[in-house]
Structure 1
Amino acid sequence: MTDFQLIADRVEIEALRGEFTDAATMGDFDRLAALFTPDGALRMPNVPVELVGHEQMRAWGERRDAFVELFVQQTHPGSIRLDGDTATGRAYMQEVIKTRDGQWHRNFAIYHDRYARTADGWRFTERVYEVRLLDEDRPEK
Structure 2
Amino acid sequence: MSNLESIIDRIEIEALCGEFTDAAMMDDYERMAMLFTEDGVLRMPDANIVQVGREQIRAGSEQLQEQWEYFVQTTHPGMIQLDGDTAVGRAYISEIMRMRDGNSYVNYAIYHDRYQRTADGWKFAERSYEVRYLDTTSLAGFDPRAAKAPTADNSSKGK
Same fold (TM over 0.5): yes
1:53 matches 2:53:
yes
Structure 2 unaligned regions, length at least 5: 142-159
Alignment of 1:46-85 (within 5 A): 46-85=46-85
Asked whether the equivalents of residues 98 and 139 of structure 2 are also in contact (C-alpha less than 8 Å), the reply is no
SS in 1 for 2:46: coil
Change (3 A) 1:139 1:65: closer
Q: Which moved more, 1:58-67 or 1:73-82?
A: 58-67
CA root-mean-square deviation: 1.0
Q: Name the structure with the higher strand share.
A: 1
Measured after TM superposition, the shift of residue 42 of structure 1 is 0.3
Deviations 1:86-119 (A, max 9, x none): 0000111111111002211010000000001000
2:101 aligned partner: 101
Identical amino acids, percent of aligned pairs? 58
Match of 1:119 in 2: 119
User: C-alpha displacement at 1:65, in angstroms?
Assistant: 3.4
Q: Would you say the 8 A contact 2:87–2:114 is kept in 1? A: yes
SS of 1:137 mapped into structure 2: coil
1:34-53 mapped onto 2 (5 Å cutoff): 34-53=34-53
Amino acid at match of 2:29: F
- In 2, Cα distance between the equivalents of 1:65 and 1:9? 30
Deviation at 1:60, TM superposition (A): 1.1
Q: Is the 8 A contact 2:70 2:99 kept in 1?
A: yes
Query: What is aligned with 1:129?
Result: 129
Alpha-carbon deviation of 1:66? Answer: 3.1
Q: Which is worse superposed, 36-45 or 67-76?
A: 67-76
- 1:140 Cα deviation after fit: 3.5
* Partner secondary structure for residue 20 of structure 2: helix
Equivalent position amino acid for 1:63 in 2: Q
What is the distance in 2 between the residues matched to 1:24 and 1:105? 16
Q: What is the TM-score when the length of structure 1 is the normalising length?
A: 0.96
In structure 2, give the amino acid aligned to 1:69. E
State TM-score, norm by structure 2.
Answer: 0.86
4+ residue runs over 6 A deviation:
none
Larger Rg: 2
The one-letter code sitting in structure 1 at the alignment partner of 2:124 is: F
1:90 — aligned with what?
Answer: 90
C-alpha distance in 2 between matches for 1:113 and 1:50: 14
